[in-house]
Structure 1
């Protein structure tokens, strides 16, 4: 596996593997591939949002990060510990799940921008190349792919990795379907530090409401993420896109109100993004795999987004290497595995939602 690309993207347009997207899933796929001797290019815009939701990293990520060789760097990179999760779910009182009782110890509240940048840095240091832009089209020509970018460049690769997130742009471009289970929407904001210094809590919090649920967690710099979750068709009725109404609703949720006490209402526009469950059908085919949210996108309630991104990236890379080694079933086996993983997740998700039986409202009726 070596078709060039080691001297820089400006001088080579031929690669063994093209990875569309440079988040955790894309980097987790690229790192083992370059270590196996493949020429790999990451195609992703250089600009990124000023902050990203997805700041809690479960302890189960530890062995994955260790396998990628980035665990030691994470522990000293300014992230804060997360000791567990609390929830007012199915009852008014809080219940807690303590990470310290598990086999991997505490998790993290991430500086997500720094975390993603560290993964990219490790991937490029390992030998991958970067192409600033986005994939516009991909067509199979004999045994290789010809990829057109939105910036007018044409690249060539033997294998493709779709790490474009929930949009699954590359998988859909090469013929995969997208099966959605719901239309969950998140309405989120970043709250500034409290007016008076206080010892930060180091647990995440979920609180159910009549129209959905709230989530909040502290961040390493003293800020706090706050998200309201409901279905897309219910947004207008609850008026969650109105910043004043969104803030008033947060104040009505007692445990959430306690966590955000002393912080001011966000001044910036609320961020709205899809958070529903979906999967690629299939998640792999001849010469391509989907990883992360492009393969299996999960409800934030499951708190497994980054862990799934890392795990599917690693497994997707293994499938590519197996296929390159002559395993004609490698891609189909990966697709079957992703189908099974998503089906298991949907069963767990249904059980989680059934635990909340206090309201007979559209949001909950759909999940019971």
Structure 2
């Protein structure tokens, strides 16, 4: 792929084939695929993520994607812990178990998210992507390129202006770049997660249990999973308008409700106190329409975000990052329908996710409460 013809346009500091906004798993996957397709790539992202990464389990299906990106070996030996599957107390009191050990890809991983994200970013840089710290401040379409102004919040004299043939939005659920280009991210409901990290008790691992756990409640559901350092992520999920009524924003109430569960309580027995702070974030499925257009594509959560119940967030990030990159490369090669086809694929994946999600929520029929009545009315 050749950069914009004619040298650096007036008012621009540098030229690249593709500017990727965001350096999480989706942005790095897109950058890796683009660089290996011959593109000159610039990654623009803040020095630190907007909110802390709370850690999560990586589905075994991510393995083939990481292998295609050339980073599977590094990830597998980078301090993460094996995940042997999950248990779910859903629709019944006794939990059911789903093991990944005998699946085609073997066990998944309990991630150190900061280390995982860093490994992907370093791989993208090693492949040839250029990293620039900052955010997209303005983007303007010119006849054959984008003029993109970047900068760092609270500072002057930093950032720069790039000329890019294509731009990729990998900014997560806010889809900041796609919004600027006229796309409209839409959420399916007001699902909200209230999460905390329980530090490793006594500075050491809390045990050898290596499965995640989901447990439904009258007001929503809990998720918990071990972290590689012996700590644990604990997350309550309900609707935004129900958070106040359940007082889940209060960490002592949040902790008391966790202690009142039937199964989550057993996973958190080594801990006597709640975490120092809780992180509140939207968890609703969303889809940006369109997820691509002439000269641009959205990837990862900026394209379509899934319900955390599906535990497929990183898999979707990697897959859409790679698919979005392929669409851009195909468009540059002369396939004028590649980006539109990618956008349709994102919409189809989102609709498929909503249908599967509706089926899963309808399996829980024990409570006639606002949270569950809303899910039982939803057809997907």
TM-score, structure 1 as length reference: 0.96
Match of 1:183 among 190, 198, 206: 190
Match of 1:311 among 285, 307, 319: 319
1:213 matches 2:228: no
Write the distance in 1 (CA, Å) between the matches of 2:330 and 2:278.
44
Write the distance in 2 (CA, Å) between the matches of 1:337 and 1:241.
37
Name the residue aligned to 2:2: 2
Match of 1:268 among 246, 270, 276: 276
Match of 2:293 among 285, 288, 310: 285
Write the distance in 1 (CA, Å) between the matches of 2:127 and 2:272.
43
Contact between 2:198 and 2:271, CA under 8 Å: does it hold in 1?
yes
* Aligned-pair CA distance for 1:50: 8.3
Match of 1:259 among 267, 283, 286: 267
Name the residue aligned to 1:55: 56
Alignment of 1:1-368 (within 5 A): 1-3=1-3, 13-48=14-49, 51-151=52-152, 153-195=160-202, 198-368=206-376
Contact between 1:191 and 1:264, CA under 8 Å: does it hold in 2?
no
Greater CA deviation, 142-151 or 285-294? 142-151
Write the distance in 2 (CA, Å) between the matches of 1:341 and 1:142.
32
Write the distance in 1 (CA, Å) between the matches of 2:18 and 2:273.
45
User: Secondary structure of the equivalent of 1:357?
Assistant: coil
Write the distance in 2 (CA, Å) between the matches of 1:316 and 1:109.
27
Contact between 2:60 and 2:108, CA under 8 Å: does it hold in 1?
yes
- Return 5+ residue gaps in structure 1 as ranges: 5-10
Contact between 2:55 and 2:227, CA under 8 Å: does it hold in 1?
no
Cα 1:123/1:362, change in 2 over 3 Å: same
* Aligned-pair CA distance for 1:51: 4.2
Contact between 2:206 and 2:270, CA under 8 Å: does it hold in 1?
no
Count residues with an aligned counterpart. Answer: 362
User: Secondary structure of the equivalent of 2:221?
Assistant: strand
Contact between 1:54 and 1:305, CA under 8 Å: does it hold in 2?
no
Write the distance in 2 (CA, Å) between the matches of 1:161 and 1:266.
39
Contact between 1:192 and 1:264, CA under 8 Å: does it hold in 2?
no
TM-score, structure 2 as length reference: 0.93
Name the residue aligned to 1:8: none
